[in-house]
Amino acid sequence: MSIAVEKGYYGEFGGSFVPEALKEVLENIDAQFQKYKEDEEFKNELSYYLNEYVGRPSPLTYAEQLTKKCGGAKIYLKREDLNHTGSHKINNVLGQILLAKRMGAKRIIAETGAGQHGVATATVCAMFGMECVIYMGEEDTKRQALNVFRMELLGAKVIAVKKGQGRLKDAVDEALKDLVKNADNTFYLLGSAVGPHPYPSMVKHFQSIISKESKQQVMEKEQKLPTAVIACVGGGSNAIGSFSEYINEPGVRLIGVEPKEAASITYGKPAVLQGFKCLALMDENGEAMPTYSIAAGLDYPGVGPEHSYLHTTGRAEYVAVSKEEVLEAFQVLSKTEGIIPALESSHAVAYALQLAPTLSKEAVLIVNISGRGDKDVEQVFHMLNN
């Protein structure tokens, strides 16, 4: 099955619902992205930093103990937790900052919710000597004071957004305003496979390294394609990167896992949210609903347009898991494999624990471990001791 991407549309989803001034800026980013993504020098530079700075390729680890414990499918873990800065986010920020440099930008801006994308952005800005401004909801700066300090340590300026509810959505609005005003020297580095065109397809492009590697690795280890690929879904960037090379392989099941408390695909309806159309959790007034997930990175009322489309066409399956199942999975992977997964990634592990025992020993699962759990240990400690 091939996907019709016409001007940033995936079926009815995607597009670019933004003011005229912003439209021009985004069209320029799209044109430059289309040009450089095929450019040999650009591709070589990106691979250089992915190898030398991020530490790619990330291993595809056979989880032998977990496989035995589940008693069914063979489970492999794609180890994005081993990347520099501890998650898949670095793949995207590196690609976008190299594009920004080519476009002559001197200043990088980004939004952040819990701070993970802000830290990844501040990291590459430090390395490339670029000015970095991070917009963060005021509420979030209070809850994530340590991440604010991390960004400052890396040389970024963090602006606390007081407007609205002081959350991620308000930070995105401020960043877009800044972009329109300063487009001549500024690049907006967006953190997930969401937002107006070209961001969803650009973020997918930079995250597809995950499945490019995993496909080659699984063929070497098993001489066949996996039965299923499982990834957690917030905005959808690690999932679309884990799926992309298999979308045209109809024999491979693609499974996205959402938190029950913020299940945009499972419970959402089509809506326009922050400049693009997707499945989203909206209230009766057409406002995005407040969500709450124990994994801050999955706490977003919408989801990328391509996931909305893959759900509607039935090419990918989306399931929701509970907080309790996630906490259990966090501990199970730690104890069986000595790998503490991020709470976000624990969603994917939680579903793998349900699915693996129902499959035969010939089946092969790839579970994307989108990040490491060190950042979550204190939170889990409090949850388990309450």
Ligand X SMILES: *Cc1c(COP(=O)(O)O)cnc(C)c1O
Which amino acids are annotated catalytic?
89, 111, 370
Query: In the bound complex, what is the minimum distance in angstroms from residue 232's beta carbon to ligand X?
Result: 5
Residues 78-137 that bind ligand X (CB under 6 A): 87, 89, 116
Q: Which of 15, 95, 195, 235 binds ligand X (CB under 6 A)?
A: 235
Query: In the bound complex, what is the minimum distance in angstroms from residue 247's beta carbon to ligand X?
Result: 16
The residue among 227 and 370 lying less far from ligand X, judged by its C-beta, is 370
The residue among 183 and 273 lying less far from ligand X, judged by its C-beta, is 273
Q: Which of 26, 130, 298, 326 binds ligand X (CB under 6 A)?
A: 298
Please name the amino acid found at residue 232: C
111 backbone φψ class: left, alpha, beta (φ>0; ψ -120 to 50): beta
Q: Which two three-digit tokens encode residue 9?
A: 């549309």
Q: From CA 376, how far away is CA 18, in angstroms rounded? A: 36
The residue among 166 and 341 lying less far from ligand X, judged by its C-beta, is 341
Residues 335-364 that bind ligand X (CB under 6 A): 342, 344-345
Cβ atoms of residues 296 and 113 within 8 Å: yes
Which phi and psi angles does 73 have, rounded to 5°? -55, 150
- Edge-to-edge, what's the strand order for the sheet holding 276-280? 5-6, 9-10, 13-14, 276-280, 269-273
- In terms of Cβ atoms closer than 10 Å to its own Cβ (0-12, 13-18, 19+), residue 102 is middle
Q: Is 282 in the site for ligand X (CB under 6 A)?
A: no
Q: Which two three-digit tokens encode residue 268?
A: 């959402």
User: Is the previous residue joined to 57 through a cis bond, with omega within 30 degrees of 0?
Assistant: yes
Q: Which of 124, 233, 255, 262 binds ligand X (CB under 6 A)?
A: 233
Q: Which of 91, 123, 144, 237 binds ligand X (CB under 6 A)?
A: 237
Q: Is 371 in the site for ligand X (CB under 6 A)?
A: yes
Q: Which of 236, 275, 301, 305 binds ligand X (CB under 6 A)?
A: 236
Which phi and psi angles does 191 have, rounded to 5°? -95, -10
Give the range of 145-153, 235-243, 263-271, 323-331 binding ligand X by CB under 6 A.
235-243
CB contact set of 371 (below 8 Å; sequence gap of 6+)? 80, 81, 86, 87, 88, 89, 116, 297, 341, 342, 344, 345
Residues 132-171 that bind ligand X (CB under 6 A): none
Query: In the bound complex, what is the minimum distance in angstroms from residue 376's beta carbon to ligand X?
Result: 9
- Total interface residues for ligand X by CB under 6 A: 20
Query: In the bound complex, what is the minimum distance in angstroms from residue 80's beta carbon to ligand X?
Result: 7
Cβ atoms of residues 26 and 198 within 8 Å: yes
Query: In the bound complex, what is the minimum distance in angstroms from residue 256's beta carbon to ligand X?
Result: 9
Query: In the bound complex, what is the minimum distance in angstroms from residue 82's beta carbon to ligand X?
Result: 12
Q: Which two three-digit tokens encode residue 35?
A: 């040009």
x-or-dash string of contact with ligand X, 166-195, rule CB under 6 A = --------------------------xx--
User: How do 316-321 and 13-14 pair as beta strands?
Assistant: unpaired
Q: Is 198 in the site for ligand X (CB under 6 A)?
A: no
Give the range of 140-148, 161-169, 228-236, 285-293 binding ligand X by CB under 6 A.
228-236
Query: Shortest CA distance to 64 belongs to which of 53, 55, 75?
Result: 75
Query: In the bound complex, what is the minimum distance in angstroms from residue 306's beta carbon to ligand X?
Result: 12
Q: Which of 8, 15, 118, 234 binds ligand X (CB under 6 A)?
A: 234
Query: In the bound complex, what is the minimum distance in angstroms from residue 373's beta carbon to ligand X?
Result: 9
Query: Shortest CA distance to 289 belongs to which of 273, 312, 307, 309?
Result: 273
- What is the three-class DSSP state of 261? helix
The residue among 282 and 298 lying less far from ligand X, judged by its C-beta, is 298
Q: What residue is closest to ligand X based on CB?
A: 371
Give the range of 96-104, 236-244, 283-291, 377-385 binding ligand X by CB under 6 A.
236-244
Q: Which of 15, 115, 226, 297 binds ligand X (CB under 6 A)?
A: 297
314-337 burial code (b ≥16 CB/10 A, e <16): ebbbbbbbebebbbbbbebbbebb
Kindly list the residues in this chain that would bind ligand X in the complex (CB under 6 A): 87, 89, 116, 192-193, 232-239, 297-298, 342, 344-345, 370-371
